[in-house]
Structure 1
């Protein structure tokens, strides 16, 4: 297995959207709550727009040209963070490729981008605990620390 990490191309949007659907389905299955609405075609089109507008930065992990994972980031700003920083919106690795270093390679690529963009940090919100304790452990091994709080949302 040789994993290559590459910037996402707009034509990969349907394949990445498929993985987004798998990620959301996995989360909802484990927490037993329909927390997300998902439409593959709408997600692919939204991703194409985000990539074209350069508002969303996506890297794809490929094994022999086949997408096996991805990381999506966007630039955020906050006074507490002392300026611009990166937020990991989604990180997904297909189950058969987990625990083989693919997630680490995606995080490493995000760190390289962060250095180029001079971000002060990377932030991520994990899916709900305790169902995703393994995810929290992965981020801990990658140098992320718990800062407290919970992610909240309000529909508009």
Structure 2
């Protein structure tokens, strides 16, 4: 596991984002994979997140869906850890 991912896992942020100039470099995917791995190890049942319910975030919603999250109402999404 990359050192920066370990740092993120030890300091789980309440909010996080990948800077625009680093998007499309799989950083967000690696972050989510590391967080899901950690969640499974410590026994979390799910991860929940929210995005603003505006069209500008449709690409963000698609990103989360491609990474195993399901829309559960509005723009609230979850990923069940047992299903990984």
TM-score exceeds 0.5: yes
Query: Is residue 9 of structure 2 the alignment partner of residue 109 of structure 1?
Result: no
Structure 1 runs of 4+ with >4 Å offset = none
Q: CA deviation at 1:94?
A: 1.1
Equivalent residue, structure 2, for 1:64 = none
Residue ranges of structure 2 left out of the alignment (5+ in a row): 77-84
**Which structure has the larger Rg over C-alpha atoms?**
1
- Give the Cα separation in 1 of the matches to 2:61 and 2:33: 17
Tell me the number of residue pairs that the alignment of Structure 1 and Structure 2 aligns. 74
User: Which of 52, 62, 69 is the aligned partner of 1:144?
Assistant: 69
Deviations 1:114-141 (A, max 9, x none): 0121011111101232111111011010
What do you get for the CA RMSD once the two structures are aligned? 2.4
Q: Distance in 2 between matches of 1:3 and 1:113?
A: 14
Relative contact order (C-alpha < 8 Å, sep 6+): which is higher?
2
- Which structure has greater strand proportion? 1
Distance 1:136 1:93 in 2: 14
State whether residues 51 and 75 of structure 2, in contact with CA within 8 Å, keep that contact through their aligned partners in structure 1: no
Q: Matched residues in 2 for 1:140 and 1:150: separation?
A: 11
Name structure 1 gaps, 5 residues minimum. 9-50, 52-56, 59-71, 73-88, 152-156
1:123 matched to which residue of 2? 48
